[in-house]
A and B are shown apart, each in its own frame.
Chain A
Amino acid sequence: MSESSTTPLHLAVALDGAGWHPAAWREPHARPKELFDAAYWTDVVTEAERGLLDFVTFEDGLSLQSTHRTEPDGRTDQVRGRLDAVLIASRVAPLTRHIGLVPTVVATHTEPFHISKAIATLDYVSTGRAGLRLRVSRRSHEAEHFGRRTIPRFGPEDLDTPVVRELTAELFEEATDYIEVVRRLWDSWEDDAEIRDVATGRFIDRDKLHYIDFEGRHFSVKGPSITPRPPQGQPVVSALAHQSVPYRLVATSTDIGYITPHDTDQARATVAEIRAAQAAAGRAEESVHLFGDLVVFLDEEPGAAAARLERLDTLAGYPYTSDAKVFTGTPAQLADLLLSWQRTGLSGFRLRPGVIGHDLEAITRGLVPELQRRDAFRRSYEADTLRGLLGLARPANRYATV
C-alpha cells in the first residue's frame, strides 16, 4: 500500500476518568460509580493491552477537576475526584504483561526523591514497563492544598502577562531540575552494585553507589536513592507541551513529548521547533519521541461519531473543546489521518478516548486492526519493556566507570 510506512506507528491512550468528554460518564458503558475501584482500571488497561498499545497514561492532579484552567468550578454534573495515578498504575501492573504504564506526576508540589523511588518501584513491579508524565501546576488553589508556596491567582486573560510568563518560566525551570534529580537518582546505583560477597560480608559494593549532590536554584538533593536502579535503567519520562517553554522541557529532558497540532502544518512546525531545541540542548543524537495528541470519537458507521459527539455536547450543555484536535469519524478515517500526520515527523499518537467505555474498544478493535491491515502497527508485542516497545536503548549509567 502506498501510504504504509516503513516505520510502524506507536500508539498510546490517555486515560482520564470515564473519558475526555465531560458527559462521558453518562454513556451506557461508562461505569461511573466504579471510577474509584481497581476493577475498572484493570479492565480498561487490560483492554488497551489487548489492542497491543505501547502504553497508557493516567491523568492526575492535586485538586478536583475543573473546567477552568486556573480555579475550581464548583460543578456537580461532571466527574470529580480521582485516585493517585502512580498507585493506579502500580495496582494494574501485576495484572498486565506488556503494556507500558505512565502515571502523571505533578512536579510543582511533590518531592523528586519520593517520585524517583516510586517510579523505579513501578518499574520493578511491572518488570520494566514504567514511565512518568510530568506536569507543572500553576493553580493557586493547588498551592493552597500544600501551603508551602504561594502562586498568584490569575485568570485565562492574564496568561500572556509578564507575571504569568515569568511564573511559567520559573515553574518549568524547576520541573527541568526535578527531572534531572529523578534521573540522577535512578542512576545513583550502578546495575551491579549488589554483590552479596559472603567472604567480606559486604552486601553491596559501595563504590557503585553515588551521591547525586544536586544543587539547583530551587532545591538540593543529596542521594543516593534508597531504591536500586530500575530494570529499564531509566524509566521513560514524558510531558505534554503546547508552547515554547514546555517544548524546551521536552527537548532538554524527556523521552517523549506529547504535542497538540490541529493540522499537518502545525505538526511540522512544532516538530521542527522541538528538534531545533533538542539540537541546541546537545541532544540531537538522542531519541526523543514526539506523539501527537488527539481526542477521538470513533464509530464504524460514517457520521455516527459526529452525531454521538453532538448528543454528548447536548448532555453536557455546551460544545466540547480541547487543547488537542477533536476527531470524529471511522477507524479507517482516523488511520488515514494518523498516517498522513506521521509524515510530519511524529513517532506516534496518544489518543484520548472521548468515552472510554466506547472509544477505547473502537481503538483496540477498530483502529488497530485497520492499521495492521496497512502494515502500520505491530501484530504482537515485540518486547517486554516500555523502552523496548519504543525502540529506546537501555541507557548507560552516567556514574559508571568502566
Chain B
Amino acid sequence: MSTPLKQIHLAAHFPGVNNTTVWSDPEAGSHIEFSSFAHFARTAERAKFDFLFLAEGLRLREQGGKIYDLDVVGRPDTFTVLSALAAVTDRLGLTGTINSTFNEPYEVARQFASLDHLSGGRAAWNVVTSWDAFTGENFRRGGFLPQDERYSRAKEFLATATELFDSWRGDEIVADQASGTFLGDARAGAFAHQGQHFDIAGQFNVPRSPQGRPVIFQAGDSEEGREFAAAGADAIFSRYSTFKEGQAFYTDVKGRLARHGRTHDQLLILPAATFVLGDTDAEARELAHEVRRQQVSGATAIKHLEFVWNRDLSAYDPDGPLPDIDPDPGEHTIARGRAQVRMYRDPLAVAREWRELAAANKWSIRDLVIETGSRQSFIGSPATVAETINSFVQADASDGFILVPHITPGGLDVFADTVVPLLQERGVFRTEYEGTTLRDHLGLAHPGTEVHQDRAAS
C-alpha cells in the first residue's frame, strides 16, 4: 500500500457581515433567527463536518460617519447561539470568535468551560484581538489598548484562561451521597495570576470540562500573529485558500512549531474558502460571475473604492471610469470597524495600479472592484471542486477548509449533498464521526490533567 491519504477537515462558517454574503437573493433567509442557525448547523452535521464557525464584530461598521447599510448588518451573540446549537446537534464542533480585548479571562473561561460541558466537549475558541477606540466606545471600561499591546494582552489573556481551565484536575467532583463529600479538594479551581495585564486570584467555579480546554483557534496573518498561533493554537483560521499562497503559509507556520517544542500535527491550517457549484464547470463559472455581481452592487463598488481613496466618492458613477483624483493621504477616517482598510498600506500605489488595470481592461469602477476583490475559492462541478480541495490538502496547501457559502442558511446544502459524498468515495473524508468531541474530530490530544504547580504547593 502507498502512504495513507491525508484526511480532510471541513468546517462551515455562518455567512457574515460582509459583501460576500448575498442578502438580495430570494433564497436568502434570516441572519438572526435561530432557525437559520439550526438549519445551517444541521446541514454541517449531516455532512459530518468538524465544526461550525461564527465570526464576531462588536461595533457596527461605519463609512463616512454613518452606519454602513449595504451589507448584512447585525448578528446575534456568539456564546448564546452556540449553546442553543448544542441542543440541536450531537457531534458538530462549535467554534466561537471571542475578542480578548473587551472581555475578562474569568468570564470568558467560564463561558467556554460551560459551553464545553453543555455540548459534551465540542467547544472551540477563535481568539481575536482588537485595539481600537472605535469598538472600545461600546464598553463600559473603555477597554481599548495601544496597538502594540494587542498581542501581548491576547497572549496573556489566553495564558490566564488556560490557567483557569487547568485549575481543576477533573476528579474533584466526588458527589458521594453516602459520605457527604461533594468536592474532593477544597482548593479545586485555585489560581493566582500576576502579569502585565491581569492580576487575579481566587477559585475558578466551573469544573473541568469534557475537552479540558476548548480547542484554540487563532486568526491573524502578521508575523506576531503567526508566532502567537505557532506557540499555542490548535488551529489557524487563515486567509490563504489559493494553492501557492496556501502552501507558502502552511510551510511557514508549520515550520515555526518545532521552535515551540510542538509537532507538525499539533496545529491545523484551515483557510476560509468560498465556493460556487454548478452541474458542469462552465455552468459554475457562469453562476460565479452572477454571484460576484450580486455581491458587488454599484453602491458597494463605490464604497469599496472609498476604502482606498479615503474620501467621499458618492458622486461617481459605478459604471463609469475610476476617479482621476488621488486618495486622501491622511489617516484613514472614512471607514471604521473594518479590518480590510488596514490591508491597503499604500493607497497612492493601489490607486495608481487600479487606474492602470481599469484603463488596460476598459473596466468600470464596478468591474474593477469585482475583478480585483471578489474571487470565489472553488468554482466548478462537484467533481472538480472535490478534486481541487483534495489536491490542495494532499499537497499541504492546507489541512482542510472552513467553507463560507454566500447564501444563508441553505448555501451549504448543495455542498453537503454533492461534494462531500465524492470526498468520502475517495476515502479522504469521514463517513461517520469516530469520536464525540471536537478534539476527536480534529485529531488533537486531550490536554493532560496535570494540576497547576501553585495549587500543589499551596
Q: Which A residues form the contact surface with B (CB < 8 A)?
A: 23, 25-27, 30, 32-33, 36-38, 42, 61-65, 72, 74-84, 86-88, 90-95, 109-114, 117-118, 120-122, 124-125, 127, 141-142, 144-148, 181, 189, 194, 196, 198, 200-206, 209, 218-224, 226-228, 315
Contacts and interface: CB of A to CB of B under 8 A. Distances in A.
Interface in B77-107: 77, 79-81, 83-84, 86-88, 102-104, 106-107
A209 B71 contact: no
Residue picked from B23, B59, B80, B141, most chain A C-beta under 10 Å: B80
9 contacts: A38-B87, A42-B87, A84-B79, A88-B83, A111-B102, A113-B138, A117-B77, A201-B297, A221-B137
Given A33-B173, A81-B188, A90-B84, A202 B69 contact: yes
Given A94-B88, A117-B77, A121-B76, A203 B71 contact: yes
Nearest to A26: B177
B60 interface: yes
A35 to B, nearest CB: 8
B11 to A, nearest CB: 21
Given A88-B114, A113-B140, 5 more contacts: A38-B117, A76-B186, A82-B205, A223-B138, A227-B77
B89 to A, nearest CB: 10
Interface stretch (B31-39, B238-246, B429-437, B442-450): B31-39
Contacts of A122: 80
Interface stretch (B193-201, B348-356, B400-408): B193-201
Contact of B74 (A127, A142, A227): A227
Contacts of B198: 147
Contacts of B138: 113, 221-223
B70 A201 contact: yes
B413 to A, nearest CB: 20
Nearest to A188: B60
Contacts of B79: 84, 86-87, 90, 118
Interface string B161-193: 000000000000101010011111110110000
A226 B177 CA distance: 46
B189 A64 contact: yes
B314 interface: no
A178 to B, nearest CB: 8
B111 A87 contact: yes
Contacts of A62: 106-107, 110, 205
B298 interface: yes
A34 to B, nearest CB: 9
A203 B15 CA distance: 15
Given A113-B139, A203-B73, A75 B83 contact: no
Given A61-B205, A84-B111, A203-B69, A226 B81 contact: no
Contact of A77 (B23, B38, B66, B181): B181
Contacts of B74: 189, 194, 204, 226-228
Contact of B81 (A26, A121, A144): A121
A125 B139 contact: no
Contacts of A148: 104, 141
Contact of B180 (A77, A189, A204): A77
Nearest to A34: B175
Interface in B29-70: 32-34, 38, 57-60, 66-67, 69-70
Contacts of B24: 196, 198, 201
B60 A209 contact: yes
Given A88-B114, A94-B87, A95-B87, A25 B182 contact: yes
A81 B189 contact: yes
B115 interface: yes
Q: Which 5 interchain pairs have the tightest Cβ spacing?
A: A219-B140, A121-B80, A32-B175, A222-B137, A84-B114
Given A121-B81, A124-B76, A196-B24, A91 B180 contact: no
A63 B182 contact: no
A42 B119 CA distance: 13
A9 to B, nearest CB: 30
Contact of B84 (A117, A125, A189, A198): A125
B418 interface: no
Contact of A127 (B34, B73, B76): B34
A144 B201 contact: yes
A160 B57 CA distance: 44
B299 A201 contact: yes
B421 interface: no
B75 A227 contact: yes
B297 A219 contact: no
Contacts of A37: 117
B320 interface: no
A120 B298 CA distance: 34
A181 B140 CA distance: 10
Nearest to A112: B140
A224 B207 contact: no
B203 interface: yes
B120 A204 contact: no
